């Protein structure tokens, strides 16, 4: 093979390295065909050419995006969660899974766990992550979604976006030619679902038979995707909140989950009695009652409304004997959860936080294979 490349090296000297490799491999194939060596030599030359062509077009060009957890089928969701357990146990098997790939991370809302887990995951798999702050220049304002998405598709392999609204995720996904991962908007939080259900699998040994009780403000992205994900798995979720419209899950999500449950046998129940919501549940979950945009006056109002729905020891006492406590963090002890619960023996919140890393790695591995 080493004697089969063109002797006219000067003609190639001005070409980019990939172009030179391509021409040299084409010359190899020409030689193979010319001399009729269609055995092992032909196979080697063909494989070399295919590998070069792959490297020249290595970016995944498809329109698969993760907007909500229901963009995955139940089978795909379960597969990725099980893969995450394997990635966690045998990280060295995946050291090159994202080799020479770039993840572009767009942040309109800051997050400790999201940035560090994605960036660390890319590094551990041989890739590179770029963090870009768009808080001062929101998507779709200075430049159209279409233009932004088309440009970024020329640079990166995956776009991850943590933004204020569903509109921003849709604007990117509708126009990008590379996958878009929703790392949080006001409608969904699918990356958190990968970590949450990996944790449930690790602690319970199964994804079947889940009975989850979610406490507090049930009109938010985490609640919505927990409702979707539990429904996909045929489990039961009770959303436990005040009987006030601003804390209730929206009707569109309830209808969406009803359609899923008609196929899976799952169940979504809205409950207002704090103890009845937890009775017999094997997963107790809550989330922060605060957000960066909430004013001090609104904080006091929310605390008064939600105080009865704080996860405390009496709630854990009526839950299943093998129940676990989950919180996607950050947490404020004494608000949505009592200190003796989040720091108690049933709490798995730090395993849950760690699994953001493994779940997202598993998803990107699966995505690269699929692309």
Give every CB contact of residue 264 below 8 A, 6+ residues apart in sequence. Answer: 74, 231, 232, 233, 234
Give every CB contact of residue 58 below 8 A, 6+ residues apart in sequence. Answer: 100, 101, 157
Please give the Cα distance from 110 to 191 (Å, whole number). Answer: 15
Contact 282, 210 (CB under 8 A): yes
Q: What are phi and psi of 209, to 5 degrees?
A: 75, 20
CA dihedral 192, 73, 202, 199 (to 10 degrees): 10
Please give the Cα distance from 90 to 307 (Å, whole number). Answer: 43
Nearest Cα to Cα of residue 81 among 184, 195, 210 = 195
Secondary structure class of 120 (helix, strand, coil): helix
Question: Any idea which residues carry the catalytic annotation?
Answer: 162, 189, 192, 287, 328, 356
Q: What are phi and psi of 326, to 5 degrees?
A: -125, 150
Nearest Cα to Cα of residue 364 among 189, 125, 67, 25 = 125
Q: Which residues lie across from 133 on neighbouring strands?
A: 107
Secondary structure class of 139 (helix, strand, coil): coil
Joined tokens for residue 252: 């569109």
Please give the Cα distance from 237 to 226 (Å, whole number). Answer: 8
Q: What are phi and psi of 106, to 5 degrees?
A: -100, 125
């Amino acid at each position: 093979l080493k004697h089969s490349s063109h002797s006219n090296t000067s003609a190639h000297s001005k070409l980019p390295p990939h172009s030179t490799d391509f021409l040299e491999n084409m010359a190899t194939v020409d030689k193979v065909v010319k001399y009729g060596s269609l055995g092992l030599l032909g196979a080697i030359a063909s494989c070399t050419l295919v590998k070069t062509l792959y490297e020249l077009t290595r970016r995944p060009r498809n329109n698969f995006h993760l907007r909500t957890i229901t963009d995955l089928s139940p089978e795909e969701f379960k597969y990725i969660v099980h893969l995450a357990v394997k990635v966690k146990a045998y990280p060295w098997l995946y050291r090159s899974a994202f080799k020479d790939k770039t993840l572009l991370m767009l942040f309109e809302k800051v997050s400790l766990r999201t940035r560090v887990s994605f960036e660390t995951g890319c590094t551990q798999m041989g890739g590179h992550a770029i963090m870009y702050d768009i808080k001062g220049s929101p998507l779709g304002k200075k430049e159209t979604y279409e233009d932004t998405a088309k440009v970024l598709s020329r640079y990166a392999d995956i776009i991850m976006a943590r933004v204020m609204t569903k509109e921003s995720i849709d604007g990117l996904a509708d126009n990008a030619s590379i996958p878009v991962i929703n790392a949080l908007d006001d409608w969904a939080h699918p990356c958190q679902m990968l970590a949450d259900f990996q944790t449930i699998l690790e602690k319970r040994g199964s994804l079947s038979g889940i009975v989850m009780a979610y406490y507090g403000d049930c009109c938010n992205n985490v609640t919505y995707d927990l409702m979707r994900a539990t429904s996909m798995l045929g489990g039961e979720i009770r959303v436990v909140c005040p009987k006030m419209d601003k804390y209730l899950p929206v009707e569109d999500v309830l209808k969406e989950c009803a359609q899923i449950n008609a196929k899976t046998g799952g169940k979504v129940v809205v409950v207002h009695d704090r103890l009845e919501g937890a009775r017999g549940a094997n997963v107790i979950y809550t989330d922060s009652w605060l957000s960066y945009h909430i004013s001090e006056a609104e904080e006091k109002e929310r605390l008064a409304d939600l105080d009865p729905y704080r996860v405390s020891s009496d709630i854990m006492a009526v839950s299943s004997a093998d129940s676990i406590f989950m919180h996607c963090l950050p947490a404020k002890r004494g608000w949505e959860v009592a200190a003796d619960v989040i720091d108690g023996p049933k709490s798995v919140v730090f395993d849950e936080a760690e699994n953001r890393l493994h779940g997202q790695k598993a998803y990107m591995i699966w995505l690269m294979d699929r692309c």
